[in-house]
């Protein structure tokens, strides 16, 4: 099983801002049917509130594109918005599924996201993505 992973957004592209930097950790994982991790990759990206970070995953004939946007709230929580685009199969443009998920998360909490949805019992593999956001302290 070949896995390809890219993350888009360059810190150099950040304009001078008064918003604090946010530290986004994204950990995609592939689980086997025994719910054991058979592959994972930790991605760390600094961003500002409202600036999307794009993560692309390719596993065989499945492509997953996640656009993750974080917003800061005054109560030290974060609104995390994840737009998911999933293509399964070899035919381009016909098998795309899209989703938008949003969740308010207290500072320091981790979120688990299933871009392909929850797999049925007995499925050979399952993909999940763990998200974690925290403020970068000056």
Q: How many domains does the chain have?
A: 1
Domain that includes residue 83, residue range = 3-9+19-113
Confidence of residue 135 (pLDDT cuts 50, 70, 90): confident
Confidence of residue 2 (pLDDT cuts 50, 70, 90): very low
Confidence of residue 35 (pLDDT cuts 50, 70, 90): confident
- Can you give the pLDDT at residue 59? 79
Dump the DSSP string for 80-115: EEEEEEEEESSSTTTSEEEEEEEEEEETT-EEEE-T
* pLDDT, tens digit (0-9, with 9 covering 90-100), for 36-94: 888 888 999 989 999 999 999 887 778 889 999 999 888 889 999 999 998 877 766 56
Residue 69 in any domain: the answer is: yes
Residue 14 in any domain: the answer is: no
């Amino acid at each position: 099983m070949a896995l390809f992973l890219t993350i888009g957004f360059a810190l150099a592209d950040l304009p001078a801002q008064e918003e604090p930097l946010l530290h986004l950790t994204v950990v995609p994982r592939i689980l086997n049917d025994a719910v054991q991790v058979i592959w994972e990759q930790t991605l760390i990206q600094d961003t500002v509130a409202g600036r999307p970070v794009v993560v692309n995953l390719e596993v065989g004939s499945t492509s997953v594109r996640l656009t993750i946007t974080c917003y800061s709230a005054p109560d030290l929580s974060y609104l995390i918005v994840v737009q998911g685009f999933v293509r399964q199969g070899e035919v381009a443009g016909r098998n795309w599924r899209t989703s938008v998920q949003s969740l308010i998360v207290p500072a320091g909490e981790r979120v688990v996201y299933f871009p392909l949805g929850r797999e049925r019992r007995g499925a050979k593999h399952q993909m999940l993505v763990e998200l974690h956001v925290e403020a970068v302290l000056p």
